[in-house]
Amino acid sequence: MLFVTIITYAMLIATAFFGVIGWLQPRKTMEMLKLQTVGGHTDGLSEVRGASGALFIAIAVAAMIWGGVATAMVGIAYAGAGLGRITAIIADKAGSQTTWIFFAVEVTFAVFLIWAGLFAGA
């Protein structure tokens, strides 16, 4: 089970790291995701800092503290992101290499973290 714990923590640390980038580097995140602010308004930066940044830090840290169901909930968050991503790939014809890579990461993290949190005791 040590291997499962190591992989779980690696995924949670990666999740927090992704969050730090979104939180502290929203413009870089928006550039990578091909998003932009409109008409000089910075609401998009706020959205990225919150929904793509600090939120991921908070859920990753909570899972590292409480484990179990909290870890599974991080996996469920990734499953939701994956559902949104595959919807965009199909409905919006947004199947770029980047979106497929993000989808693969989301599905991988979702499956592993849900399993680890609910069944492997991570």
Q: What is the pLDDT of residue 122?
A: 72
- The amino acid occupying position 18 is F
Phi, psi of 120 (to 5 degrees): -105, 0
Which single residue is written with the structure tokens 């849900």? 114
Q: Residue 32 pLDDT more than 90?
A: no
The predicted model scores a pTM of 0.92
Task: Report the pLDDT averaged over residues 84-100.
Answer: 96
**Tally of CB atoms within 10 A around 101:** 10
Instruction: Read off the pLDDT band of 121 (50, 70, 90).
Output: confident
